[in-house]
Each structure stands twice: as structure tokens, then as C-alpha cells.
Amino acid sequence: MKKFDIPEKFRSGLIGEVKLRRRMADPRKQNFQPGILDFGNLRVILPRHFGFCYGVENAIETSYRAIRENPGKRLFLLSEMIHNPVVNEDLQANGIRFIMDTKGKQIIPWEEIHPDDIVIIPAFGTTVEIEQLLLSKGVEVRNYDTTCPFVEKVWKRSTEIGSKGHSIIIHGKLHHEETRATFSHSYQNAPAVIIRNMEEAERLASYMVDQPDTDGFNKEFGDKISAGFDVSRDLRKIGVVNQTTMLATETQAISDFFRKIIQDRFGENWKEHFADTRDTLCYATNDNQESTLKTLESDADLAIVVGGFNSSNTAQIAGILATRMPTYYISGPEDLLDENHIRHFDYPSQKMLESTNWKGMKSPLSVVITSGASCPDTILEAVLMRLLELCDAERQPAEALESLIC
């Protein structure tokens, strides 16, 4: 696998060594069992996969290369490079300005972007309309296009099945940058509709009948469908793709649900009406989520998940862990206030909370520590070191590393 040139400020000696040992022991990435760092009175359980993925590393490498290669030029990002404030703040400190916020609200007017400016496309990709706008202004966008190759894979698959007459059902968050981009690329070739979860899938399926309620459908899904979407025509042949950071098992469940609907409706000819899109699920998202699920089999007392609070894949990881143990979603070591107080983010309510007695009195204490795909290992290591301090760990990191159970 390609090795990316990532700034040292985002690399961790301790976490890097753990990952190196795992790669050497399991080069084909077939083992999803978590590892354990034993600090005596504290056991840290590390999922098999966490942190920067291929797409994120590619985006970071390309962004810093753009900075190096263009001294004196104005540099812009369409929006946040990835959903991590530390990375985005460092890019801004190096002179990069954001044209839009994460929901597409304009920060810098398009009129201020000139042909000799450098515009970087983030890992989420961008819409066809924005790319065409930049090209019409004479801005070269392909040199620093960091769109994740797995996002592009979804686009290509959408184009392929759309050309065969299938409508595209996108499992994603309506206002997420990646979903907006996938929606744009999908409706170039086919009708498209966005659904958030199984509940919306069931609502959409309720309109897949011979004489659907067109007015009701347009009222319910009006902001989630492509122009000219005809509910009586465009749900007869379908394929399901996803925002790559969504819960993979949920995407598969939604796809299986629609396949059953199509089978019941069209009988033995159902395959003509349903496109199998399992090959579009992102391997990195799958690996991280599968690794997280494996930690549920451990005897952990609690979990700490580190990442940006607008990171979809980090929220999915926190959600998985929360089904089995107290889980705290934090942005960095500063959220571990003291041995009795922790500040953490509640994703469903989108609110910051502060909890007391968060680590209890148990000794030894077992803690799952993990991070999202956009979180630098340096932040995860800083959280680990803060935890060691608060627990008055009996062993030093080097000693725990030597006894690492991979």
C-alpha cells in the first residue's frame, strides 16, 4: 500500500509503533481482534483499525504539497479538508482559506476567486456544478483534487447503474459534503433520492406501489430528490449507494430491505430491477467498524472515542461502543478535565455534556480508546497520556508496549 508523506505533527511514536507491529504480524489485515496495552492498574484496549484512512492521508499529503509548491499564491479549500479541527486549523495557519462551510454556505464569494488561485477539492469531493463553475473561471482544479478514491468509486458505480435505467438511492446525510457531491454526480445520469436511515427507507418503500401518492411523496421527499423525479416511474429500477462514512451494516440492511421489496413486486424478474452495489462500501469504514464491533467482546469498563464532532464516521464508532458500555466522545486530552470530570459530546442531541465519576473506582480499569478516520494519531496519543496521568498508571508506555498483545 502506498506510503503517504504526512507532517510529523500528526504522527505518533507510540501509536505508530503499535500500528507497525500489527502490520508486520498481520500484513493481509485478516485479524480484527483488538490489542491490549497493559499499564498495570490500567488496561488500554485498542481496536485493530482506527485513525487516518487512505483517503484522509492522501488529502493531507496533497494539501501540504499544494502549500509547498505554490509560495506567494492564494490557496483555497472548497470547505474543510476533513472533519478534524486540528488539521483544518493547521491548514488555515499555513495560509489556506475555506470558500464554504461544511453545509455549503458561502464564506468567500465566487467573484473573489481568480484563474491564478489554487483551489483544493477536499476528500469529500465536490458537486459537478461547482467543478464546472471553477473550470469556467479558468481555475485548474485537477492538480489538487483530493477526492477519496472510494468516494469516486461510488460515483462511477452510480453512473454505471444509472446508464442502465436504475434510479439511485443514496444512504447519507442530506447536508453532508460527500452526500451533496454524490447526489450531484448521480443525478447527471439518473433520478436520485437521499435517505438518512431505515425509517426513511421504509417511508420511501411505501410509495413503491402501482399508484403512488405523488403529492404526498413530493411533500415528504421534495428536498431529497433530483429535479423531475417521478415517483410513479423512477422507483421501478433501483440501486443503493452510500455516503462512505455511514454505518456499513445499516447501508447493507437498507439495500437488503429494498431488494426484498423488489423481489416481492417483480417476482422472478427482480434482478432486472435491482442493482447489487455491495462493492461500493468503503473498505476503511468497514475495517474500522468491524474492529470496533470486535471490542464489544472485551471486558472493557468504558470507551473513549476521539475525533471532530462533525465527523460522521467517528459518530458511528461512538454509537457502536455505546450499545455495550459507557462511551465518551471527545475532541482531545483537554476534555479529560480531571479524575472525576470529563467533557464529552452527545452526537444525537448535538450538545456538549460534562459527566462526573466517569472512570469509577474499579482497578484495574479497562478502557477502549479509539479514533475516527480523520483524527491524527498524535491526538490519540495525547489522550492516552492524559489518561495514564489521571489513573496514576503503574507502568510506563515503553514497558506496556513491550508486553503488547496484538
The angle formed by the CA atoms of residues 86, 339 and 404, to the nearest 5 degrees, is: 70
CA–CA dist 63, 397 (Å, integer): 33
DSSP state, residue 146:
-
For 382-395, give the secondary structure using H, E and C.
Answer: HHHHHHHHHHCCCC
Q: Would strands 35-38 and 42-46 be described as parallel, antiparallel, or unpaired? A: antiparallel
279: left (phi over 0), alpha (psi -120 to 50) or beta: alpha
| Selected catalytic residue, list 80, 178, 200, 381 | 178
What's phi and psi for 208, nearest 5 deg?
Answer: -85, 60
Tell me if 41 sits within 8 A of 391, measured CB to CB. Answer: yes
CA–CA dist 214, 221 (Å, integer): 10
CA–CA dist 383, 328 (Å, integer): 12
Burial 222-250 (b: 16+ CB within 10 A, else e): eebbbeebebeebbebbbbbbbbbbbbeb
Amino acid at position 157, single letter? R
Tell me if 77 sits within 8 A of 91, measured CB to CB. Answer: yes
Q: DSSP strand E in 196-347: where? A: 238-242, 274-275, 302-306, 327-330, 341-346
Which residues lie below 8 Å from residue 304, measured CB to CB, with a gap of 6+?
A: 327, 328, 330, 367, 368, 369, 370, 383, 387
Amino acid at position 88, single letter? N
H runs (alpha helix) in 7-165: 13-25, 54-69, 85-93, 128-136, 149-162
CA–CA dist 32, 208 (Å, integer): 39
Tell me if 182 sits within 8 A of 170, measured CB to CB. Answer: yes
Amino acid at position 290, single letter? E
Active site residue 272: no
Catalytic residues: 178
